[in-house]
Structure 1
Amino acid sequence: MSLITITDLRKHYISGDETVEALRGVDLAIEAGEFVTIMGQSGSGKSTLLSVLGGMNHPTAGTVEMAGVKLYELPGERLADFRAENLGFVFQSFHLIQYLTALENVMLPLAITGMKKADKVEAAREALERVGLAGKADRLPNQLSGGEQERVAIARAIVKKPPILLADEPTGNLDTKTSEEVMTLFRRLNDEGQTVVMVTHNPDNSTYADRTIHLRDGLIIDESAAAVTTRSAA
């Protein structure tokens, strides 16, 4: 059974007197350990698909099943708990708190857990080490480069070791060289067993993935296996 199964997914928005069909019947299965990129022009529905997949945007119709659980059949509090336990999120804007150090930013998802502080610090340091920032734990965000801030955001997303990592345009604000470094990191995390689903507008990013989903007008128009030319660079 697939880790993620999306069936006849539909999402409609009301804009004035008009109904906008952001998703118009999407069917998709993602296996555990896959790296999938989602591409499409602005307005194609790719970010809507990711937000629905992440349990943050109730669909109009259809189902999202994850690890055997139908997300939107869960009541609100249980859905939030499931999301916190199973999903890590990385966004185009880093969303780091400027007056907290890298270590403290990474510790934020652990705040509501029952872990001892020493264990939280250890988990955050381990996550920073995984993204190559072990030596910069005490730096504030404004003391880090854009690529380093993105790595802190990734460390924060993986600190609880969720099985699924969702990323929305994670290289959108980065230059080409830094984007390649961040994508190599995502590839390495995937090689270590992390399931990654990423929305991107950059076709170069899809070369790091196992499969690319192309959306147009709320529908999947193509699925293709990517020629992973950079896997060895991970």
Structure 2
Amino acid sequence: MIYTYNKEAVGDVLMVTVANAAGNKVEADRKENIARIYVTESNETVGWNFFNASEVLTNLTGNGQVFPTDSEKEQLDQAITKAGFNETIADDRRPKIVSGLVKECVPHPDSDHLSVTQTEVDNGEVLQIVCGAANVREGLNVVVAKPGAMMPDGMIIWPGALRGVESLGMLCSARELAVPNAPEAKGILELPTDYPVGEAFDAANYKL
């Protein structure tokens, strides 16, 4: 679940991305100041637009991705219901850019430069992630962008496949995370070996 707000560039509109609609025809159903974005064929909700959003969330500010509190999320749901929709925002509140541990790393069966990892992200949850970094290896502490994460450059991470192998996230470099003074050299960020697994990663305050 990704919330974005940029009043200067877009206007007073809070955009909520629920799912990846790439490759599908989408339509919008607008009621009052709220529009539900859905896939035409399946009727799956993939997003919400809140017009005049500051009337719903009076303290709304930001210039990109924003993170509503639980109380603000409830206000958005109430606005959706009041407008006449029969569903609310199904929101996973867990952080999407977290520290992880590469539990297994094997060569990709159809590539000479990709690796297939099994990476733990929290409380035993393991994601299969395909990675092209030369320094990826078993036992490495890393930063993982889970499905639904928005990177600093605006790219959204969705489940996908690389050369036929499922990949459920991305192992990140310092540059991709916008870590201050990130090196130009390629490769994923290597965290200290005692870095706790599953913590939200604070790139702005991370010291290389």
Choose between structure 1 and 2 for higher RCO, CA contacts under 8 A separated by at least 6 residues. 1
Q: TM-score range by the shorter chain?
A: under 0.3
Bigger Cα Rg: 2
Q: TM-score, normalised to structure 1's length? A: 0.24
Q: TM-score, normalised to structure 2's length? A: 0.26
User: Which structure is higher in strand share?
Assistant: 2
